[in-house]
Structure 1
Amino acid sequence: MGIDLKPVSVQNWYACTKLKVTEEQRNVFPAPVVYWIAESKFVDDFELRAVYWNTDLVGFIVFCNRPDEDGNYWIPALMIDEQYQGRGFGKSAMDKLIEHMSSMNCNKIMIGHRPDNLLAAQLYESLGFKKVSEEVIDGEIIRLLELT
């Protein structure tokens, strides 16, 4: 499909801040990309990736490059710009990210989504993420992907 994950850099950070979700999704993805860029300057284990389809910037991902105290590597944010949604870019980007995280000797990947975000639920389930529990934690359903 031509999806690449490139580090957010001086060359593309501003273009990343222009990415946005649909109006209906703002309650699902309330923090704009600029928030994640700013937070990454203070949270040492956040890594940012710009999602490109060929040469077009189509999305943004935040993941942790170190495990938490339970050995889990988290993906705090995944978003595909509103004009590129529904084309499989989110799934392709997640496939690339999972491959990358696997190469980091990551065994467990955690991700959360709002209970009403059924598209995210379907995407994560299709990638093998299982619910950790039926309980909503901090407003999100938490999912786990165990890599072997």
Structure 2
Amino acid sequence: MEISLKPVSDENWYDCAQLKVKQEQLNVFPFPVVFWIAESKYVEELELRGVYWNDDLVGFIVFCTKPDENGNFWIPALMIDEKHQGKGFGKAGLKKMIEEMRMMQCKKIMIGHRPNNEVAGELYESLGFKKVSDELVDGEIIRLLEIP
């Protein structure tokens, strides 16, 4: 499986905006991709990547290029389009994102998910993200990946 991450640009932003989750997943991924595209125009540290399988756009990732006050870099959003879920693209895309962030000298990566999104929790755990606390933050379970 050849997965790549490409910056969201003039050439692909509209295609990214067409990505969507399944109707029953709207409670775990409530913001459409177009929200993240708009926010990235006003929040300097947000960067966006399309997740591609060969030449096909299959998903979308949002990440921060600057750490928070505790030195944590965040991945605020990861989504795979409804037509491409269950094929390993989320895991492959997240692995690529972790490698990209490693090259940026990130040592701690944080990601969150809704408590009822067990698939996301299992995915993040499989890649080494550990639950930070049992308390929810903005309705999400927060996980941390420490990179040596």
- For the criterion TM > 0.5, the same-fold answer is yes
Counterpart amino acid of residue 67 in structure 2? P
For the pair 1:6 / 2:6, whether they are aligned, the reply is yes
Instruction: Give the SS at the match of 2:47.
Output: strand
Cα distance in 1 for residues equivalent to 2:138 and 2:60: 22
Cα distance in 1 for residues equivalent to 2:16 and 2:104: 25
For the pair 1:61 / 2:49, whether they are aligned, the reply is no
- Segments of structure 1 that go 5 or more residues without pairing to the other structure are none
Counterpart amino acid of residue 43 in structure 2? V
The alignment-based identity, stated in percent, is 70
Structural mapping, 1:22-101, within 5 Å: 22-101=22-101
Q: Per-residue deviation at 1:75?
A: 0.2
- Segments of structure 2 that go 5 or more residues without pairing to the other structure are none
For the pair 1:20 / 2:27, whether they are aligned, the reply is no
Match of 2:110 in 1: 110
Counterpart amino acid of residue 84 in structure 1? H
The normalised TM-score by structure 1 is: 0.99
Say how many residue pairs are matched.
148
Counterpart amino acid of residue 130 in structure 1? K
Cα distance in 2 for residues equivalent to 1:92 and 1:138: 27
Match of 2:133 in 1: 133
The normalised TM-score by structure 2 is: 0.99
Provide the alpha-carbon RMSD of the alignment.
0.4
